[in-house]
Amino acid sequence: MRYDEGMADLYVQRSIEPLLASLLGQFPAVALTGPRQSGKSTLLQHCLPDYRYLTLDDPVLREQAVADPNLFLDLAGERAILDEVQYAPGLLSYVKLRIDRARGRRGRFVLTGSQQFPLMKGLSESLAGRIALLELLPFAVEEKRRCPGLGARLATGHAAFVDACLRGSYPELAVARDSEPHRWYAAYVQTYLERDVRTIYDVGNLRDFQRCTQLLAARCGQLLQLSELASALGVAATTVKRWVSILEACRILFLLPPYAHNLGKRIRKVPKVYFTDCALVCYLAGVGSEEALLRGPLAGPLFENFCVQETLKAFVAAGIVPRLSYLLTHNQLEVDLIVEGPDGRPCPFEIKLSKTPKPAMASGLARFADLFAPLAPHPGRVITLSEEGLPLTRAVSAVPVLAYLGQLREACLRGVAGSERTGDG
């Protein structure tokens, strides 16, 4: 059973709900993007029961929206949720006309889409200044812990990490604990990455596109080496670049950019590859058990992926554009994650899959503090699976992953950990 369709009685509160309500009171329209099955439809139907819900996944409604958009909007009524509007991009011009006829009315339309880039392009062209932009990713850890029976089960960083990798963060899998994750992800890849992606994009050879996705999963947490991937696949580097852009548009991938403030340092300038869901990485890479997860070659990269994906979710849920990056210099100074605050000061983090933090883990953060002293960085921290925080040096401490995420959420809600809020389209 799809979480989006049949589990209203098991609805789990989403962290983005207060922001959604606030923006509906400020803008004529709100757009909610995010990957398939992240819970967009469930969220909107639960929070906006007085809105008429119309999905363009329905081929009949899609044809009507394309053939006669005015009639379609007449039938939608005064307040409507228009789901998957990327399938009828011409509809946006007619939505604009209706908004302009009564510009003072707020919260008239809620638009959703699973293809971020095409939808954003259409919105920026048709509804600039009239629409607020939001994004919904799969469950963050604190959202999963709101599911029946999961609060105590996911009380430790170790348990939360293993569950994120072997079960995943998509709402249906979190709510329906009797479902089989391997089969769910097999269907997800087939119906979404194969069918939906091909509907919107020209991916060329589907088998090579699938192999590219698998190779990227095996390289999560690593630098994006387009030429290496192209050689392995026997295709042009430009083709791989386009496929990566597609996966990024679908919010399957997240590309972590290199740190921009190099102060003359020789810095690697290619992004690192992360997925927005660790369990999809495990499915694609064939990691199917806790032993294979924790003892396999992807253990460290997957813990990095877990920390990065959860960091991204904290910013997105608060409606803040994240300023996240990593650092890797040619003399091998590496910092896994750098979070910049609105003051521009970097906060560097190392991510270590360890329950026993050691002072040596702080060496890179100490070098970062020295080299980037003119930027007055915040004290660095090492994110670990330990249960308690402890100092590693005078300036660097180890922090449990769940404590780090809790502190980050609070900072995002205060608006002190990120940059500008998302909003005007």
Structure confidence at residue 283 (pLDDT): 96
Tokens 């005064």, located at residue: 78
Structure confidence at residue 88 (pLDDT): 87
β-strand partners of 54: 82
Q: Cα separation of 173 and 178, whole Å?
A: 8
Q: Strand, helix or coil at 351?
A: strand
Q: List Cα–Cα distances, 248 to 18, 184, 196, 212, in angstroms.
A: 27, 21, 14, 13
β-strand partners of 399: 383
Residue-wise pLDDT for 61-108, tens only, equals: 999 999 999 999 999 999 999 998 888 888 988 999 999 998 889 999
In total, the chain counts a number of residues equal to 425
Structure confidence at residue 4 (pLDDT): 45
Structure confidence at residue 355 (pLDDT): 95
Structure confidence at residue 2 (pLDDT): 41
Residue-wise pLDDT for 296-332, tens only, equals: 999 999 999 999 999 999 999 999 888 999 999 888 8
Structure confidence at residue 416 (pLDDT): 42
Neighbours of 374 (CB within 10 A): 8
Q: Cα separation of 86 and 174, whole Å?
A: 28
Structure confidence at residue 5 (pLDDT): 46
Structure confidence at residue 120 (pLDDT): 58
Q: Is the dihedral of CA 273, 298, 165, 381 positive or negative?
A: negative
Structure confidence at residue 1 (pLDDT): 33
Which candidate, 343, 366, 367, 356, places its Cα nearest to that of 398?
A: 356
Q: What residues of the chain score a pLDDT lower than 70?
A: 1-9, 115-126, 193-196, 199-200, 262-265, 415-425
Residue 372's identity, in one-letter code, is F
Q: Which long-range contacts (CB under 8 A, 24 or more apart) does 205-213 make?
A: 205/235, 208/233, 208/234, 208/235, 208/239, 209/243, 212/240, 212/243, 212/244, 213/189, 213/243, 213/247, 213/252, 213/284
Structure confidence at residue 379 (pLDDT): 92
pTM: 0.90
Give the chain's domains with CATH numbers: 3-135 (3.40.50.300), 141-255+275-292 (no CATH)
Q: Cα separation of 261 and 263, whole Å?
A: 6
Q: Cα separation of 135 and 335, whole Å?
A: 27
Q: Cα separation of 284 and 272, whole Å?
A: 18
